[in-house]
């Protein structure tokens, strides 16, 4: 009844925490309390960038009809300073390399200061403890829930967590299953959405169509079973950029030009675009949405046109 009332009051669209992406919100209805959301992708696809975009939007949104929530970001792969630089780059719309090197004019520096003030005032907590155990994560999340009213947890990434004390196994699949089950238990216990990033199997790279699917979850164990939502981030541009055609021996210039023109057309169509593929949603539809990705700022935003793609695209 409570869930239905929330949906009714939000015109049937967004009853959970906003992702900051309109079409993804429309597909998911937002990120719901007690849900375990898996966000997976191959290296270079932008899964950490998407997670930071979602997390900071949740902590600092000023959009009408959206409420900011305290966010805990457990960064097991990236140091807090690196993660902070990424968020600063995204908020200020300044290349992170410029920030690191201090190559800023006065206007850019003012942008940076304004973005920094926004970040500093947001309820956004980063824990970059390496080799964190899933039980330590649970303890720290409970403390934050008690002291700050936690509303969202991000884990980057699931496979870097160590199992609970006393349950270490020689079987990696069992360890991953224990971790995913515990993350789901944390989501239920604290009544917050937990977004856990996950690696994908290299089998993706062996296929012609490199869009990931549920079978690609590396060492998946019970990840798919435990998750309420499984999302993949995919950028065709990344793969096309690596496959610029070269002229073959004895290939005519006309034939080569046709192949190269087709490659250029695909590059133009995929430039600065990413797909967010919702492959599983326990209480809703699956499908894909297209979003804009600005690589310089690791920034995901809406495309201007309606971009919802039906299942099976």
302/273 Cα distance (integer angstroms): 10
Specify the pLDDT at position 306. Answer: 44
Tokens of residue 189, six digits: 């216990």
Domain with 22 in it: 16-233
84/175 Cα distance (integer angstroms): 30
| Predicted confidence pLDDT, tens digits, the chain (313 residues) | 455 454 555 555 567 899 999 999 999 999 999 999 999 999 889 999 999 999 988 988 767 677 888 999 999 989 998 888 888 888 888 888 888 888 888 888 888 888 888 888 888 999 999 889 999 999 999 999 999 889 999 999 898 998 866 556 667 788 888 899 999 999 999 999 999 999 888 888 888 888 898 888 865 668 888 999 999 999 988 887 777 677 787 878 778 778 777 878 887 777 888 999 999 999 889 999 999 998 888 889 998 744 444 444 3
Q: Are 235 and 293 in contact (CB under 8 A)?
A: yes
Q: Can you give 136-158 as a three-state secondary structure string? A: HHHHHHHHHHHHHCCCEEEEECH
Specify the pLDDT at position 2. Answer: 52
Q: Is residue 276 included in any domain, yes or no?
A: no
Please state the domain count of the chain: 1
Q: Are 220 and 178 in contact (CB under 8 A)?
A: no
Look-up of token digits 């155990």: 133
Strand-pairing partners, residue 292, are 273, 301
99/94 Cα distance (integer angstroms): 7
From residue 147, give the alpha-carbon distance in Å to each of 58, 150, 200.
18, 8, 35
Strand-pairing partners, residue 301, are 292
Specify the pLDDT at position 1. Answer: 47
240/270 Cα distance (integer angstroms): 9
CATH of the domain at 177: 3.40.50.300
Specify the pLDDT at position 199. Answer: 87
Specify the pLDDT at position 137. Answer: 95
Q: Is residue 52 included in any domain, yes or no?
A: yes
Model's pTM, two decimal places?
Answer: 0.84
Q: Is residue 291 included in any domain, yes or no?
A: no
Q: Are 20 and 53 in contact (CB under 8 A)?
A: yes
């Amino acid at each position: 009844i409570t869930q239905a009332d929330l949906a009714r009051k939000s015109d049937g669209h967004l009853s959970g925490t906003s992702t900051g992406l309109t079409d993804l919100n429309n597909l998911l209805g937002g990120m719901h309390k007690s849900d375990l959301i898996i966000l997976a992708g191959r290296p270079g696809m932008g899964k950490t960038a998407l997670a930071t975009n979602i997390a900071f939007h949740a902590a600092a949104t000023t959009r009408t009809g959206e409420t900011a929530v305290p966010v805990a970001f457990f960064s097991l792969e990236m140091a807090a300073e690196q993660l902070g630089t990424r968020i600063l780059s995204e908020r200020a719309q300044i290349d992170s390399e410029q920030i690191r090197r201090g190559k800023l004019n006065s206007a850019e520096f003012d942008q940076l200061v304004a973005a920094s003030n926004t970040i500093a005032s947001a309820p956004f907590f980063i824990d970059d403890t390496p080799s964190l155990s899933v039980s330590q994560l649970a303890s720290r999340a409970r403390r934050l829930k008690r002291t700050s009213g936690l509303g969202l947890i991000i884990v980057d990434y699931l496979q870097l967590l160590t199992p609970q004390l006393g349950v270490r196994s020689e079987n990696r699949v069992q360890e991953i299953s224990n971790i995913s089950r515990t993350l789901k238990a944390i989501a239920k216990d604290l009544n917050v959405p937990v977004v856990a990033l996950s690696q994908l199997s290299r089998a993706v790279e062996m296929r012609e169509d490199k869009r990931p699917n549920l079978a690609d979850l590396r060492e998946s164990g019970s990840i798919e079973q435990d998750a309420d939502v499984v999302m993949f981030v995919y950028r065709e541009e990344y793969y096309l950029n690596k496959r610029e055609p070269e002229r073959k021996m004895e290939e005519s210039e006309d034939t080569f030009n046709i192949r190269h023109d087709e490659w250029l057309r695909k590059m133009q169509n995929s430039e600065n675009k990413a797909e967010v593929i919702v492959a599983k949603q326990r209480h809703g539809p699956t499908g894909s949405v297209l979003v804009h990705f600005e690589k310089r700022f690791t920034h995901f935003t809406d495309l201007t046109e309606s971009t919802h793609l039906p299942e099976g695209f």
